Amino acid sequence: MAAALMETKTGVSMFAALQGSERGTWAHSPLFLWMAENFEAMSNAVVGKKVRWQKLCEAAAADGLTNRNGEVPKPETLRTTWYRVRKTIRAMQEVQEKAEAEAAAKKASRLSEAMATRDKEADTDGDLRLRMEQADRAERYATSMRAEVRDAHVKAAAQRQERANQQAATAPERQVEPSDPSEFITLDLPVIKGVSSRAYRPVDPKLPPVRKGEVSPITGIAWRYGDDLPGYPSKRNYEYERDWLRDVGLLLRHHHPTNLTMTPEEKFVMRSAKSRIPNLY
C-alpha cells in the first residue's frame, strides 16, 4: 500500500498552503508534509480497511520520513499525525467551500441589481410590457443562482458527512484485548513545567480513546470535558479530570500560542481547563 501511495501525488495547492503555515519549533514534520501532499491517495487507500500502522512505520523509515525531532515515527505517532492532517485539510476545504458559496451569492445579487438598473434606464417609451418581461428574466436568473448556491451548500454538507462516515468506518473497535506491557508506547510530548509525570506514562496503543460520558473505573464518575485528544495524554492515566485538564491545557498552550490553530475539540478542552483551573498559565 505504501508503494501505491508514493506513486500518486495529489493536493498540490493544499500542500503548498500547509507549507506556508509552518512556524517555529512546531513546523510540520516531513511525515506530516508527505501525508498532506499525498492526501487523496492515502485517504482512498485506508477507507474501510484495517490500517497496518506498523507496516507504514517501516515504509516511512525506509523513505526517510521522520517526526518533528527527526526520529523514525512510531505507530501511534503516525496515526495521530494522519489524524491532524485530516483535520487540517478538512478545515481548509470547508473554508474554501464557504467562500465559493458566498461568492456565487454575491455574483447573483450583483447581476440582479445590474438588470434592475438597466431596466430602469431603458424605461423611456412607457412600454410596461417590455419592463415586465425584463424583470421576469432577472428574477428567473436570480432564482436560478440562489438554487445553485443552495445546491452547493447541500453538496458540501453531504461531502462532510461522507468523510465523517468514512472516518468512523476506519475507527478502531471499542472492544480490544489489552497489549502486553512490553508493547506500550510513549507519546512524543515536550517536557513542560507544571505538567505531571502521568502525562508521560507509556500507553497501550490498542485501547480506544476515552469518550465523554464514560465512567472512570477508579472513581465511578463520568468524564465530562470531552474525549481523549489524539497525541495528548489519555484520561486512563488520571484519577480526577481536573488533573487531566491541567496537563492537557498546558500542553495545548505550548503547541498552540493562540486558539486560532486549534481544532474544535481542542478549543473545548482549553476552555474547560481555563474555567476549572484558575491561573492556569
Tell me how many degrees the CA angle 255-257-258 measures, rounded to the nearest 5.
115
Grid cell listed for 103:
461568492
* pLDDT value, residue 7: 45
Alpha-carbon Rg for the chain in angstroms: 25
* pLDDT 10s digits, 204-253: 888 899 999 999 988 899 999 999 999 999 999 999 999 999 999 999 99
* pLDDT single digits (tens) 174-188: 455 666 777 888 888
- The closest alpha carbon to 88, from 17, 157, 170, 168, belongs to 17
Question: Torsions phi, psi of 106, nearest 5?
Answer: -65, -40
Distance CA 214, CA 207 (A): 14
pLDDT given for residue 20 in this prediction: 52
Q: What is the mean pLDDT of each run of 10 residues along the chain (281 residues)?
A: 45 57 60 90 75 84 87 87 89 87 86 77 70 84 80 70 56 56 85 92 90 91 93 93 94 92 94 89 72
pTM for the predicted model, two decimal places: 0.38
Take residue 55 and report the three cell numbers written for it: 507496516
Q: Which residues contact 106 (CB under 8 A, 6 or more apart)?
A: none
* Nearest-angstrom CA–CA distance, 150 and 161: 17
Q: Cα separation of 226 and 266, whole Å? A: 9
